[in-house]
Amino acid sequence: MKSVFSLFAQRGADSPANQWLNDNPLVLGGIAILLGLALAGYGLFELKRGVAHDKYGNEMRGGLGKFSSIIRVVFGCAAILFGLYKMVAG
């Protein structure tokens, strides 16, 4: 298990983890879709409630809360589109 963590700890475009993800684009696409679904879902949940939270846990209401929720939905959709692109184009 320690070798898995050391594999992902290495950096660079030619690291073994990046090479493996380039060889397996379905995995990268699936991860991006899952993260996008979580981010967009959380953004929609906060948009429906009308209260968003910042990274420190403070509540944001009104226009700023809606704006923050919409940004989360947009970036979640972008991650989903990226995942679909990686799955199709490889």
pLDDT tens string 23-54: 888 999 999 999 999 999 999 999 999 899 88
User: Taking the CB of residue 55, how many other CB atoms lie within 10 A of it?
Assistant: 5
pLDDT attached to residue 86? 92
pTM tops 0.85: no
pLDDT attached to residue 16? 80
51-53 vs 59-61, strand pairing mode: antiparallel
Does 11 fall in a domain? Answer: no
Q: Could you tell me if residue 69 is left (phi over 0), alpha (psi between -120 and 50 degrees) or otherwise beta? A: alpha
CA dihedral 72, 77, 82, 86 (to 10 degrees): 130
Does 5 fall in a domain? Answer: no
Does 67 fall in a domain? Answer: yes
Does 78 fall in a domain? Answer: yes
How many domains does the chain contain in total? 1
Does 35 fall in a domain? Answer: yes
Q: Which of 38, 34, 60 is nearest to 49 (CA)?
A: 60
pLDDT, tens digit, for every residue of 45-84?
Answer: 999 998 998 889 899 999 999 999 999 999 999 999 999 9
CA-CA distance, 72 to 74, in Å (whole number)?
Answer: 5
